[in-house]
Amino acid sequence: MSSSQESSTQLKARIASRSARIGIVGMGYVGLPLALLFSEQGFPVTGFDIDPKKVAALNGGGSYIVRIPATEIQSARQRGFSATSDYAAIGGMDAVIICVPTPLDEFHEPDLSYITGTAEAIAPHLRAGQLIILESTTYPGTTEELLIPRLESGNPGGLRAESGTAEAPGFYVAFSPEREDPGNDTVARRDIPKVIGGVGPVSRDLASALYGSIFNRTIPVSSPAAAEMTKLLENIYRCVNIALVNELKQLCERMGIDIFEVIDAAKTKPFGFQAFYPGPGLGGHCIPIDPFYLSWKARQFDFHTRFIELAGEINTRMPYYVVEKTSEALNGHRKPLKDSRILILGVAYKRDIDDLRESPALTIIELLRRRGAQVAYNDPYFAHVGRGRHYDLNMDCAPLETIADYDCVLIVTDHSSYDFPRIVEDAQLVIDTRNATRGLASDKIVRC
């Protein structure tokens, strides 16, 4: 048995015995739940993050994500889970899973600095026989074109990744896209099938064994690029269909048709239709971003993804549509948008979560401010909204008790804690972008 075969066999045995040491880089909305899942199954887990506040919170048994109670962190701590900012600890891990952000830059092009920075931080501590897995959403080719070269060039031992050649690999690499759906508690994490693409058969089998120990089903594919494209297809599918209903919503409005009634009727068809719903724009880390990742990569192959780019443009324009509808509604009440007091209800990108990433509410607030409106917000998950990658708002949460003082209440995120009948009763004017007031009859309500 060759040394590489021996190391892979030993790693597989450690996975089977739950003694393999798991390191997860990025303790955010993807990495932390994954770390807890491994911990629940008895693996020794270490979380890595460059944010000292997150590291301190986790080591103190606290949680900074609303849907993850502190009791889960405390239970994991009792099982040996810990967090660190010291990448030297990477050398003690058997498997390292990378769950870092992959945002867009100001030109809507991929910003892979988090991946490259992580690879360069890991490389000096890389040792023979380790399994490195990338989970961050990205374009096809990232694992092999970006991650592996940095790992290979940066490690002092000259280790090489499995490549399918006769040369014995020094370490193993795979890509497995995250499939987190914040706020969705109808599907257990273990029941979400895990797609896995290894750079070679041993990498694929090791990654399948690792994920198979915590997920009920794994889906091996032929390569990391195939797994990377799978993730993009899943989210672009949603992006395109949401763009379709967003465009139809605007048409139905002109035609005097209720788009939500139409969708409810269409979804009674038992085949060939899946319901998607319009809204004020797309949010979250994946759906607003993935189309641009693929479009950028496609241009390298002299291919223009016109259909996908059109869907992205439609969804990107939705906050502008909401602002125009708000201006029209205020005009109908003999009030100009400039100097009007507007309360935004909900700034999270979707219902009942504490996640601001790419939220359309942030764009809507900035657009309203530019046009001279006096904007406040209320969100039970955010006491303050400060500065982010693409926004600088510096706002504190306003109390709901003052709704009557605003010229307009704009429902952007329909948190289940909101009492919408009471909100409509107290407000002067309500702009509803989520159909949250459906069933309520009032001339105060404008649905858009």
CA distance 152 to 86: 21
DSSP codes joined into one string, 102-168: --B-TTS-B--HHHHHHHHHHGGG--TT-EEEE-S---TTHIIIIIHHHHHHH-TT---B--SSSSP
Active-site pick, 286, 397, 408, 448:
286
239 is catalytic: no
Neighbours of 77 (CB within 10 A): 16
Neighbours of 187 (CB within 10 A): 10
* H/E segment holding residue 75: helix 70-78
Rounded to 5 degrees, what angle do the CA atoms 83, 87, 92 make?
80
DSSP codes joined into one string, 353-391: ----TT-HHHHHHHHHHHTT-EEEEE-TT-SEEEE-SS-
- HSE, CB side, 13 Å, CA atoms: give it for residue 148: 23
CA distance 133 to 173: 6
- Pairing state of beta strands 374-378 and 95-98? unpaired
Neighbours of 7 (CB within 10 A): 21
What single letter denotes the amino acid at residue 358? E
Measured in degrees and rounded to the nearest 5, phi and psi for residue 202 equal -70, -45
Q: Which residues are the active-site residues?
A: 286
